[in-house]
Amino acid sequence: MSPSIARPVLAGLAASLLTAPALPVGAADAALRAAPTCATPLAPVRPVAALPWTQQRYDPARLAPLATGAGVTVAVVDSGVDRAHPQLAGQVLAGTDLLDSGGDGSRDCAGHGTGVASIIAAQPRSGVAFHGLAPGARILPVRVSEQQVVQGRESGRTVSAAEFARAIRWAVDHDADVVNLSVVLYADDPAVQSAVAYAVQRNVVLVAAAGNLHDSGDPRPFPAAYDGVLGVGAIGADGVRAAFSQTGPYVDLVAPGSEVLVAAPGQGHQRVEGTSYAAPFVAATAALLRQYRPELTAAQVAERIIATADPAPGPGHGGGYGAGVLNPYRAVTETGARSA
């Protein structure tokens, strides 16, 4: 694929849907009404009460007395974010839509961006154990895609590489402190590289998915491979690298990305996998740090997150673990990290 025809790919694999028959008829109708208007509406899914494994590993309640991400804006450059979801209501700012003009980023026809945003900022809700790692953060949605994975194949529109670059710049210009890029280009595009440099120069933390094509030879993923970007691979509940998660020097660390519970547009939750969903755990940690240690530069935040990663079973960067497994609590609390 040449840079001139590069297209962003959402780095999430097929979701494990918790389907509509589990909802009462009235609740299903309400979910459809609440969902963004799309050519092919997503099926409503039920709420999940059980505690997800990711919160057994990362307990937001342990971090809440120290930091919640309050006052920090995290841009989610993705498929849009449904601000009507009960756990995202009041957390989503007016963003922009670079796929369909006139939108504010709240239309999510794939469910991808809503899921990513919920890992960061979903609010606690009675009867639901799941909530975000940085529930005080604000989400700035920048819609660039409506891709879905259907029978193992990606389908749906996405913007050009040039528009993807514009999305990054737009997020920076609208006061994002952290930018989550659960999007991969498998070509080095000058406009995207320039947009990344623009963000780095303006003290913005950039977090990107490392890609899901390990079985296809680990093609170099951008923007994760650019300097100044935290590239994130995925692990499962056993702490082992997910089979799809790419390996290479662009993986700075890993985070949960297999069987991850997230919010779905409308209401309810679904289980998903992909490095798409590992990246927002790191973006949320960056939001916690930007609140707790506001004197740190973006580069120091990234360095601290890497320096406090837990040891992983793999052989360093060559094993696809980078510096190890994300540990948000250590990132916030340890004073011995090099950036302190």
Q: Are strands 260-263 and 253-256 parallel, antiparallel or unpaired?
A: unpaired
Q: Are 152 and 313 in contact (CB under 8 A)?
A: no
Q: Are 209 and 278 in contact (CB under 8 A)?
A: yes
Residue of 118, 258, 276, 339 with catalytic role: 276
Residue of 78, 82, 177, 189 with catalytic role: 78
85 included as an active-site residue:
no
Nearest CA-CA partner of 162 in 5, 324, 321: 5
How many Å apart are CA 137 and CA 278, to the nearest integer? 18
How many Å apart are CA 312 and CA 309, to the nearest integer? 9
Q: Are 225 and 218 in contact (CB under 8 A)?
A: no
Residue in the block written with tokens 């920090």: 72
112 included as an active-site residue:
yes
Which of the 8 DSSP states describes residue 98? S
Residue of 85, 112, 214, 269 with catalytic role: 112
252 included as an active-site residue:
no
Under 8 Å CB-to-CB from 63, ≥6 apart: which residues?
133, 288, 328, 329, 332
Q: Report DSSP letters for 228-290, one per residue.
A: TEEEEEEE-TTSSBPTTS--STT--EEEE-SSEEEE-SSS-EEEE-SHHHHHHHHHHHHHHHH
Prior bond of 280 cis (ω within 30°):
no
How many Å apart are CA 179 and CA 77, to the nearest integer? 7
DSSP SS3 for 101: coil
- Which residues are identified as catalytic? 78, 112, 276
